[in-house]
Amino acid sequence: MSIPLQLDDVEQCVDHILATIGNDIRVGIPLGLGKPPELINALYQRAKANPDIRLLIATALSLEVPDPGKGLQRRFLQPFLERVFGGYPGLDYMRDLRAGSVPDNIEIHEFFFKSGSMLNNNLAQQNYISTNYTHSVRDLLALNINVVAQLLSHRHNNGKDEYSMSCNPETTRDLLPVLQQRKKAGEKILVIGQVNENLPFMVNDAITDLDAFDVVVNNEAYYSTLFAPPNMPVSTVDHMIGLHASALVADGGTLQIGIGSLGDAIVYGCELRHQQNAAYKELLQQLQLQEKFGDVIERVGGSAPFTEGLYGNSEMFVDGFLYLIKTDILRRRVYDHAGLQRLLNAGTITEVVSMATLDALLQEGCIHSPLTRADVAFLRHFGIFRPEVRLQGTTLLGTDGAQAPADFNQDRDAVTRHCLGTSLQQGRIMHGGFFLGPRGFYDELRNMDPDTLNAINMTNISYVNQLYGNEPLKRLQRVKARFINTVFLAHALGAATSDGLENGKVVSGVGGQYNFVSQAHELHDGRSILMLKSTREKDGVTHSNIVWNYGHVTIPRHLRDIYVTEYGIADVRGKCDRDVVAAMINIADSRFQPELLARAKQAGKLPADYEIPPAFRNNTPERLEQALAPYREKGMFPAFPCGTDFTTEELVVVRCLKAMQPKAEKKSNLVKALIRALRGPEIPQQYLPYLARIQLDDPSSLEDRIAQVLMLDELRQVLS
């Protein structure tokens, strides 16, 4: 076992990199949270100061603190951002990328952008590498990376130092074996870990051996604030999409969801279904979902509570999964053994251990009679035998040295009394590749009870995102899989666009979306569910997100499956083009249905006399707001179902600012507000804290006095 070089200064680490690797440094760093910012900043600044150093950075999703903007938005956001992100150092290469000042001796390649963040950055667009996430390791290796830098968590356990890749084992675990081979072949390669003990310590596959690293940098000065994006509000449109999607999740199945308001909406829909089932079913009836989509709901999902529970297999372990754990929905355990999992799936055994468990395992060929040492180790690992049981010759040594025959049929009573455990162990309710989320998410992971933490396995992306490699086991674990992802455009013939524009600009990246869509088609009972909002606003104009065609495709039409909008569900797998187009038009906004209908008829994809069924002709935002209004009065469909970093006061201010914006764009409103401002408005005492939050309690400029009047109007509406 090799002992890594222990350092407490990132500048010393950069010195070691240059001394070992030379001046051609090609560094691979994990997606999102797993980047060590202090080390990467030191390395970047060294290369920036010395043009003889060639530095290549290959990564994905480089995190940035949001720009607070200007005016009232800045006054509101700046204190919030300082509170949430205040100690996060940021990434110097991203600051220079934004400023257009990255020197010529440095290249930055990304596989995935924060959605829309780099649309107007030519250098980022030119250096983007398009790849499925499962192929990112292959493509990193093709870049001949010679340095891997990873953020680590650390703990003392039984007097020993332990390290965990925590949030990002997904690519590093796949990279390390290949890099070790290259090192043995004589290549100069460094694997570096930087410790941040604010990072939750994740167990199982995330724990890494010390000898995997050449250098470990550990200094409390680098235990900086973790990047923690706050939850965004869930709108009516989001909630309706989440409600539809929740009815497509199969009890006893597998779930994958992503980050953002739509993911939170799915979680809330599942919680309603499980915890308030009568109200949930009433909703489906009142909103006519059973009438319109009852067939697909019953075939694919259901409306009953989750009596068997769900198992999570998701590239991203989002905080919504924690809510599903806390509400006892995410609780179906899977096991890392195909024979054991097959017996559980068939109902031959349960998680309660008995002699019948041994009988079934013997019949399945998982163990032998008499038991071998490997059999006993297997039985101990999964809790079928107690931890102290050992095999000595042909005898099992059990509790307090009591003996039982290795041929367990000779004395079943002795095996039961001295060897059997009570329930299966090492079950996992969640396999994830990486995580990123709000501060409360990290806090819960840090303070999670050991049993629940052990049921979560952060692991290789090659395990989570594809079936290849140990395929029989993955198929057994991922029964009734529902892989739910987001796109921004759906084509009427079933293709989808989620990563780029038709002019070639990249919005985000393919990531793992294609992997999961493809995987859904490869699993005999799997389904891909693609969600999208039916419309978008641009420059004050509403556009349809269901289009006849588009110049860029992420998911091809031959992989079409299920689409969900706020207006319903379109099950288009295996359907002819006529039925696909009709189903897609049914879930489009009614303002755009006539145009889609005309294009379909023009292309000969719908009969000339086809008409949209009456039940689908009232797809309007107003109808949705009216439908949810009675339930909102009961406290249902909250804006932040998975919690928020905003204070109660800030939530009021947000609502007011959002309502103010369109009104402030009308000249007549501004003139009226000016007249009232000059007269001097009356300000109730209870409104002062809200005004003070955005520095409008004592306005000094005429512009602020007008804004104060508009804000007062909104406060009266919100607080009345």
What DSSP assignment string belongs to 524-564?
A: TT-EEEEE--SEEEETTEEEESEES--S--SB-GGG--EEE
Contacts of 173 (CB under 8 A, 6+ apart): 165, 205, 459, 460
pLDDT surpassing 70 at residue 1: no
Q: What angle (nearest 5°) sits at the alpha carbon of residue 490, between those of residues 489 and 494?
A: 155
Question: For the chain, how many residues are written?
Answer: 720
Residue 539: pLDDT band by 50, 70, 90 thresholds?
confident
**Nearest-CA neighbor of 513 among 502, 529, 524?**
529
Yes or no: say if 441 and 483 are a contact pair by the CB < 8 Å rule: no
Whether the domain at 5-222 and the domain at 236-333+430-616 fall into the same CATH topology: yes
Q: Burial code of 671-692, b = ≥16 C-beta within 10 A, e = fewer? A: eebeebbeeeeeeeeebeebbe
Topology of domain 236-333+430-616 in CATH is: Glutaconate Coenzyme A-transferase (3.40.1080)
Q: Tell me the percentage of the chain whose pLDDT exceeds 70.
A: 100
Yes or no: say if 704 and 677 are a contact pair by the CB < 8 Å rule: no
Strand partners of residue 565: 568
CA–CA gap between residue 109 and residue 513 (Å, rounded): 20
Q: Which two tokens stand for residue 606?
A: 């719908």
Q: What is the pLDDT of residues 75-105, one digit of tens each?
A: 999 999 999 998 999 999 999 999 999 999 9
Residue 661: pLDDT band by 50, 70, 90 thresholds?
confident
Q: What angle (nearest 5°) sits at the alpha carbon of residue 220, between those of residues 218 and 223?
A: 95
**390: buried, middle or exposed (CB in 10 Å: 19+, 13-18, 0-12)?**
middle
* Mean pLDDT calculated for residue range 463-480: 96
Strand partners of residue 543: 536
Better-predicted residue by pLDDT, 157 or 565:
565
CA–CA gap between residue 709 and residue 695 (Å, rounded): 13
Domain boundaries, the chain: 5-222, 236-333+430-616, 338-418, 648-719
Q: What are the percentages of helix, strand and coil residues in the chain, rounded to 5?
A: 45, 15, 40
Top-confidence range, 382-391, 536-545, 671-680: 382-391
Q: 370 preceded by cis ω (within 30°)?
A: yes
Better-predicted residue by pLDDT, 636 or 1:
636
Between the two ends of the chain, the Cα-to-Cα distance in Å is 68
Cα–Cα distance list, 149 to 145, 162, 201 (Å): 11, 18, 18
CA–CA gap between residue 80 and residue 67 (Å, rounded): 12
The separation between CA 536 and the C-alpha centre of its own chain, rounded to angstroms, equals 23
Q: What angle (nearest 5°) sits at the alpha carbon of residue 547, between those of residues 544 and 553?
A: 120
The separation between CA 579 and the C-alpha centre of its own chain, rounded to angstroms, equals 32
Yes or no: say if 506 and 618 are a contact pair by the CB < 8 Å rule: no
Yes or no: say if 617 and 593 are a contact pair by the CB < 8 Å rule: yes
Please enumerate, as own/partner, the contacts of 535-544 that have beta carbons within 8 Å and a separation of 24 or more. 535/589, 535/591, 535/592, 536/488, 542/589, 542/591, 544/588, 544/589, 544/591, 544/592, 544/595, 544/596
Residue 521: pLDDT band by 50, 70, 90 thresholds?
very high
Contacts of 667 (CB under 8 A, 6+ apart): none
Yes or no: say if 594 and 572 are a contact pair by the CB < 8 Å rule: no
Q: Look at the pTM and tell me if it is higher than 0.85.
A: yes
Q: Burial code of 541-560, b = ≥16 C-beta within 10 A, e = fewer? A: eeebbbbbeeebbbbeeebb
**Nearest-CA neighbor of 115 among 511, 536, 537?**
511
pLDDT surpassing 80 at residue 393: yes
What integer best gives the mean pLDDT of the chain?
Answer: 96
* pLDDT value for 352: 98
* Mean pLDDT calculated for residue range 668-696: 91
Task: Please tell me what DSSP assigns to residue 489.
Answer: E
Q: What is the CATH number of domain 5-222?
A: 3.40.1080.10
CB atoms within 10 A of CB 105: 15
Which residue is associated with the tokens 């951002």?
Answer: 81
**Nearest-CA neighbor of 172 among 94, 89, 59?**
59
CA–CA gap between residue 409 and residue 418 (Å, rounded): 14
* Mean pLDDT calculated for residue range 51-71: 95
CA–CA gap between residue 480 and residue 653 (Å, rounded): 43
Helix (H, G, I), strand (E, B) or coil at 606: coil
* pLDDT value for 720: 79
**Nearest-CA neighbor of 112 among 95, 99, 131?**
131
Q: What angle (nearest 5°) sits at the alpha carbon of residue 157, between those of residues 155 and 158?
A: 155
Does the CA dihedral 694-697-701-704 come out positive or negative? positive
Q: What is the pLDDT of residues 583-623, one digit of tens each?
A: 999 999 999 999 999 999 999 999 999 999 999 999 999 99
**Nearest-CA neighbor of 272 among 246, 237, 300?**
246
Q: What is the pLDDT of residues 328-381, one digit of tens each?
A: 999 999 999 999 999 999 999 999 999 999 999 999 999 999 999 999 999 999
Q: Which two tokens stand for residue 282?
A: 């009433």
Better-predicted residue by pLDDT, 678 or 325:
325
Q: Which two tokens stand for residue 491?
A: 């084509």
* pLDDT value for 540: 83
Q: Which two tokens stand for residue 133?
A: 């996430």
